[in-house]
Structure 1
Amino acid sequence: MTRIPHETSGEPNPLHALTLDRLRRRTSMKWRAYPEDVLPLWVAEMDVPLAGPVVRAVTDALALGDTGYPAGTGYAEALSAFAAKRWGWYGLAVERTAIVLDVMLGVVELLKLVTGPGDPVVVNPPVYPPFFPFVTHLDREIAEAPLGPDGRLDLDVLEAAYRRAVAGGGRAAHLLCNPQNPTGTVHSAEELAAVAALADRYGVRVVADEIHAPLTAGGVDFVPYLSVPGAESGLSLMSASKAWNLAGLKAALAVAGPAAAADLAAMPEEVSHGPSHLAVIAHTAALRDGTAWLDALLAGLDDNRGLLTELLAEHLPGVGHRPAEATYLAWLDCRPLNLGDDPAQVFLERGRVALVPGPDFGTGGAGHVRLNLATTPEILAEGVRRMAAAVR
């Protein structure tokens, strides 16, 4: 299918703004986990300057000494307005939201509300690696319903997992990744409605991690889980952190469907004590005033997806790759290269490029790597050249 590219906003492409020398001055995980001779294309941080409205909002707050505790519903109001304009979803009710520290700790709090110790939590591997330890450290059991060969939800497999999950008579949840990490699949309205119908039939509570929601490719529409018919008892976690590169400014929102409002209201008040006031200011500014910057980023990511396809065809034609419908991640099938279950180790040792190992994503991850393409075209090209050199 031919995709319609994102319209440019007049803002410069933020993926063209920073040199490698300047990026190496950063002290975050992406740039400090490996020695300087390693090119980091792994963890989900983007190589971009921050959106101007975010910088101004935070620096204005600092100048004012506005560094106390967060208050009010500005973040939720900004997200609701963004969802209406961006996704045509007018059902994000501010009164059915709660602020949480970040998406994954929000997931933990929501799972506490709808499951108990020992209860199963269904996941769809290959999937974001922290799903596994966060669930098991919560004393819940992982129940796998792997994606199909096309990287999409297999509804027959999912129904079987639901059936097993509730067979013991306890409660069960489905931790849904939408858009999906690492494959970049955007679940369609029909798929999500089918999930909601199955969840209602089996009494499974869906908790959707929708952190990558703003990061769709050109011509692809994101569908919020709570917007589909039958999802009224669902719960969602959303944040501006991935789309505006704000992982170090921690704040997220838990959102409840109409039938889950009472569950969310039962969340302990102290959960809201973790988020930073400055983070809430930053996320609110991003959603309210940072859409032109986001549009420029999305156009740049479309360009980088095309560039990666060209680079792989030229330098690593054996690697399987389906351009992602969302996120700034690429899921690469390296099994034809015969590098074993963990090709990321080979690329690191021989090519000095850091990627996320496929086995970390669970079933279906062996022989794969996840690559972060939210960087300059020059760094992306150098990364693929290093990968190719590693297998010569």
Structure 2
Amino acid sequence: MHLVHNYVTFAQNSRKQRRPGILVSEDLKKALRDRASKIVVLFGIVSLLGDFKYEGFRSILPVLVESLGGTLVALGFAWGIGEFLSYGLRLPFGVIADRSRRYWLMVWTGYMATAISIPSIGLVKSLSALVGLYSVDRIGKAARTPARDALISELRGIGTGRAFGLHRAIDQAGAILGPLVAGLVISITNDPRLFLLLLVVPAVVQVAVLLVTQREWVRQGYTIPLQRGWNELRFAELKGTIPIMLALMLFGLGLFQIPFVLSELSQSQMPLAYALAQVCYIILAMVWGALLDRVGIAIMLLVYLIACIVPTAMLVSPFLAAAVWGASWSLHEVGFRFVLAKLVPTGRRAAAFGLYAFIFGIATMAGSIVLGGLLEISLHYGVLYAIGVQAVGFATFYAILKRRVGGALVSSR
């Protein structure tokens, strides 16, 4: 109210009083956009610091597992259980967030879990302790992600696609910086545990920035409106999103995942290819967000077409495939949040984000297992599988769009 009052006063005292309504409207829109952007940037910095920690850790996970006497099977188990917990638990945590309406509590719990667990891994003496602490980190990610996305989706004055695109772009910078700094520290000290212990510093900074973010959210007066009880509605309001979720699930089922791309490179080339993928992710995140706001989710058809290029590019260069993978993953990460924010009513979005993550996590795990088996036989079999599944996904998504022409799926406006 103070903001509106100030702008009204300004308009009344302005020399351009012949069109005060337009002047107030445009100034107010800009003010709301700037304030919403500030919160998105703050959330992005919090996520950047989180990615810096856990992506830095994940980049040296093989070294840590080997130092504790683990085998490749142990490495695969540690990675697999982490991905399962990170995706699979987002559904119950999303439901808890919407039912309890304690979104900020879920966000704080999730980020604190990572802030404590990842640096603590530098002190472990056994493989079981490493897996246990890594599991705490992944559970924390599952807890915070649906609630955080629900909070971002409520921001006014900035397009939903732009908000998620900006957040993902800032967030992903940490995924590049973490591994690069880890490599630098190890090259100087030859001690991966020292890098983990040093992560206490970004953890403290992250807590401080998260506190500022919450205060800014409250200061601007944002709330998530109360909806009818879950005992009455259950998942009724999410039924309309299931076809879209299943169509996007096919993207995960057939995606030629980045580990398979990196497996074709030497150890010295792997970090460079991974960094290239993340750079492409960051550059395109804002582009995808702007296109989604302008065109609508018909843009999501591109995610299947780009994903088809990844395995094809493998036949040319793994570096090219890594870059294309970054482009496809960027569109998916921005796009699915945009879609659900448009289709799901406020107060139900955390559960929707969680449900999709659960479905997508299962699809990604299954697809990776199938693709890995096919690649053991021949690269060409893996390429054919990936392209075939993406083609089915494209056809499915296109059919859904045709049935909903004129609805929320076609335009974001």
Specify if TM > 0.5: no
Higher strand fraction (1 or 2): 1
TM-score by length of 2: 0.27
Larger radius of gyration between Structure 1 and Structure 2: 2
Higher helix fraction (1 or 2): 2
TM-score by length of 1: 0.28
